[in-house]
Structure 1
């Protein structure tokens, strides 16, 4: 048997296994799905399980969220599911979608549609379609353009989605330009599926992504954010990130990533920052303990974002990036704000970027216990993530240097644990609270109390816990120096 024939036979065996998976998965949800199909048929309408639901059934990973399409319009769909569904929502009604819940399954039922963007606004113009085949053609990729008709379980695959699923290829039902013209977000979604499913993007699709990258500007920041988050949390985000950069899509919404492709000087006096960054993301993923940690991955991606702006070449030809963590934190905050991430998530990622260099210097024996306390206090509840980010940032190929850095960080973590056992590092606070300060100084609430509190906290960080007499003596000494009279 030739190599090509053997490969084809293997693909067919994979398809057979996929079909067996699909049967098992569909049997699990079929009582509800078939019952719903019979209700639509009784009302004179078609109902088909479609899109990601069919794809995931074939992959043996069908969840509890099911997508259907129908020739019934939303008002008719509502009439069919009322009295049968346990709950109904109409938030997607203007796009032809009615949602409902039954027996623990979440069902979304969408009218056949002919959907396109008007090239001016950022919102889709929805027109209802008339056939299943046309509806499937307007879907993003062939692996999402398969359907199972209900209740008869007839399989429809007009665009070769099953073969593409076996070949692990992302391809569009029609031409890529037609698909991306309908919804430019599909270009970003192609990269996301490459990251999530570990599929290759068909060369024609890749070319169109590069040629039409500017069309992504028509899409709202929120939709881009959601797709990018899924990409970064995929099983293989590095493939997706490379695709974004190579096609120019990253330049449209995350130019800092493209900007990391700095020209390396002739003496190779600094690392390839782009490749280093992708390695740091991979390293960070390896340290995750319970699924995707978006904050950690995003901090890893952005930790060197400030290097292009701070690159300098000294008289000896060596390259430096002084204060790139400060500039990077500022750029990260601005970029995540533009992408409409929440203030809380933005603040966490920004803080990690700003702190990621703090560790360096510890191995030279320069850190006092005070420095360790400040490190822990400044990191706050991000300390565990900071540990992971700092360890991930070590990408040197010099084994001796890598081992030394790892040993230094082990020592720092051990030292943190030792000091934490002696002191409450998780809540470093002054040894006197506001009430005690006011009572001892004889002052009312106001700025003086805050200044005294801050002074005592600095002492706490510098010297560790003080006993009550020491704390009071230090407060009174400060008050005298500041001209505060009791």
Structure 2
């Protein structure tokens, strides 16, 4: 690591490979600057995961300059002016000065190469990302006050916000993401432009929107990012189910709206995430997103009851279907979609346990239905208690403590996570002397249900039970 000179935060360092690359380009007669997030992160006191550079060299000149120095290079981003480089264990990206803009009817950016660093910086998304560090001289280039805005905690654009968002509408999502990740307040002119242009986000691919949403949810303060999305209208495009919650009182009128309740549940779920060695390492997108989405079925299931009450029967099932549909529209992978929608469907399963208790059979089904989401379900269920009634809150917490204790005891006795019928399919066919077919499936289901209700049996008892069932169901 190389320490930066006076004028940068104390202890600010950059990897040796950054300085080496600057010297390589200088020898080749080209300008090179570290740019964007890595420079911003120097002033935030953190190490950036990415190393991005900008240069006056064309893609062909970049390749020529690093020949013999780089261990490997690839030009998959050549159309956008970007060449990837590997040196040792570091991956670097070098991009020709550029500006990119969207055609109003296209999802793909048009790329125009620029002629100077100043031209490149003015077309970047926000002032905090419009700083550059010239190499190898370490001269800071900050024409738009990025350092000042970082210190003030304000998110502004180098050009007008309308120009910035016309160049790339996804930048509106990035504004909400930076509110979550960096704790920056979106400047009023930027908010106004986002509100005015929110619908333009529809031309951006679902995959790009999804990537920004995941980063937002996994930020330090996702509530701030979601608030920005809802207040500017971005959420109507990306997650319309969330602003709809603002119109739905919950059944106890404990909150101004279900929207605020959902944000609180998400924050409480975050507090229950674990370290890297725990079962739910932070930041856990699946848990956080399930907490945010867990009540989205309420608007469609709201019913006004006699006496003025409000009910939301089966909102868990409806919400799971809506969650699955939304995540599919945003092109989430199947596993994440399954996990989040499954948690939404199960989030009400616990309620009633404290009032009437559960049989061992019910506990087994709870664990089996949760499957690989049990640890997340524990945390989601505990987080879904936002009542100000301390006695009720304590009673629910005690009841869930008791449920977890019973689950642990049964797991130790019966290995609940590996619950299977008393006999497998091959054994069923051998004992009953029947070929593969529907009868085997029926027998399997009978044995599984019996296992759930009554616990494990030894082999001889299981065989006798199967034969009795077969006699009764020829």
CA distance in structure 2 between the partners assigned to 1:450 and 1:267 by the alignment: 45
Which residue of 378, 398, 406 maps to 2:397? 406
CA distance in structure 2 between the partners assigned to 1:201 and 1:68 by the alignment: 26
Q: CA deviation at 1:24?
A: 2.8
Structure-2 residue corresponding to 1:13 = none
Which residue of 317, 322, 332 maps to 2:323? 332
Structure-2 residue corresponding to 1:112 = 97
Once superposed, what is the RMSD of the aligned Cα atoms? 1.7
Structure-2 residue corresponding to 1:432 = 423
Structure-2 residue corresponding to 1:203 = 188
Structure-2 residue corresponding to 1:186 = 171
1:159 matched to 2:144: yes
CA distance in structure 2 between the partners assigned to 1:320 and 1:124 by the alignment: 47
Contact 1:64 1:104 (C-alpha < 8 Å) held by counterparts: no
1:422 matched to 2:410: no
Structure-1 residue corresponding to 2:371 = 380
1:320 matched to 2:302: no
Name stretches of at least 5 consecutive residues in structure 1 with no aligned partner: 1-15
3-state SS of paired residue (1:126): strand
Deviations 1:410-448 (A, max 9, x none): 000011111112112011111112222111100122222
Structure-2 residue corresponding to 1:6 = none
CA distance in structure 1 between the partners assigned to 2:297 and 2:443 by the alignment: 36
1:331-350 map, 5 Å: 331-350=322-341
CA distance in structure 1 between the partners assigned to 2:103 and 2:255 by the alignment: 47
1:144 matched to 2:129: yes
Contact 1:269 1:319 (C-alpha < 8 Å) held by counterparts: no
Structure-2 residue corresponding to 1:449 = 440
Alpha carbons of 1:314 and 1:17: their partners in 2 closer, same or farther (altered >3 Å)?
farther
1:227 matched to 2:212: yes
3-state SS of paired residue (2:9): helix
Which residue of 87, 90, 94 maps to 2:79? 94
Contact 2:251 2:311 (C-alpha < 8 Å) held by counterparts: no
1:22-421 map, 5 Å: 24-26=12-14, 29=15, 31-63=16-48, 65-264=50-249, 268=253, 272-289=257-274, 290-421=281-412
1:463 matched to 2:454: yes
Q: CA deviation at 1:479?
A: 1.1
TM-score normalised per structure 1: 0.93
Alpha carbons of 1:18 and 1:409: their partners in 2 closer, same or farther (altered >3 Å)?
farther
CA distance in structure 2 between the partners assigned to 1:296 and 1:74 by the alignment: 42
CA distance in structure 2 between the partners assigned to 1:269 and 1:153 by the alignment: 56
Q: CA deviation at 1:451?
A: 1.6
Q: CA deviation at 1:338?
A: 0.2
CA distance in structure 2 between the partners assigned to 1:269 and 1:129 by the alignment: 56
CA distance in structure 2 between the partners assigned to 1:82 and 1:267 by the alignment: 68
CA distance in structure 2 between the partners assigned to 1:337 and 1:432 by the alignment: 37
Contact 2:254 2:387 (C-alpha < 8 Å) held by counterparts: no
Alpha carbons of 1:56 and 1:17: their partners in 2 closer, same or farther (altered >3 Å)?
farther
Alpha carbons of 1:327 and 1:243: their partners in 2 closer, same or farther (altered >3 Å)?
same
